[in-house]
Structure 1
Amino acid sequence: MFWELKLIEKFRETANLNGVEVKITKNIDFLKDFDLNTSLEYDSNKDVGFVKALSGAIESASAVINITNREKLKSILTSKTLYILIEEGTLRSSLSEAYFLAKQRCQDEYMLFISGESKTADIEKTLVSGVQGPEKIIFLIIDMT
């Protein structure tokens, strides 16, 4: 248990460096307040969406998500705020370990690695979030104990 907490804290520390919030939770019922169907693998409305990751990488604070269809990809990329659900037991030290676990869990051809929201800067050095994807990403580490 102590070891798992240490891994989660390392994930949180790295994510925070990327400007991404990490929350630890036992359930995702609060997503129903946004009219999202939490029994699905993913769901979104105009402003908020969620997706269940296959695994997570601690060293880069990344989530590995399988892309089964265009609708899922669209749901991920067009949500202004995206909650990414990662089960605590699927966290791995490195991105390659997280990828191999994801491939064991799912044989889909396409995988998406997400470690933060979309950011870009223009010539005037103005930073803009959400141009190629969500403006805000929140990792939810699901405590399965």
Structure 2
Amino acid sequence: MKLKIIAVIVSLLFIGCEELLNVEATSMTIERVKLEKLPFSDGSGLAWDELSGPDIFIRFEEENVTGGIETGTNQDISPSDLPVTWSMSPTFTLGDFSNMLEIYIYDEDVLSDDFIDGAAFEFDPSETPDTWTLDVSDNLQITIEVSYEF
């Protein structure tokens, strides 16, 4: 009788652990952003700003969803400033993992902002690391620190 009870308990524990292993996130919230690499000139080889470093901000959007959110602008970034970090306030939430996270990097200017680069990323809700390092292009990389809802 004791062996049957132990076998049942072990089976229940195994089933419970199996269910825990299969839990998927329902949303992902970006808490912090770190700019790791940045091109300091445009495609023509010209600096983003003539007299200083670029004034960088990053925009996040969810594919198929109206709106988005931007970081604040970090002024006059030079190569020695990298990595540059923003704490997201308010945070940005990817609410549907079937949509891609779109990331756009800009140099803020008085008349019109210069688009530096952008990319869209797909995330697997079963993979939930605390950080994601995203290569936007060969010389543009960001790391996002995230939290999840399950």
Structure ranking higher in helix proportion: 1
Q: Work out which of the two has the higher radius of gyration on C-alpha atoms and give 1 or 2.
A: 2
Structure ranking higher in strand proportion: 2
- TM-score category of the 2 structures, normalised to the smaller one: under 0.3
For normalisation by structure 1, the TM-score amounts to: 0.25
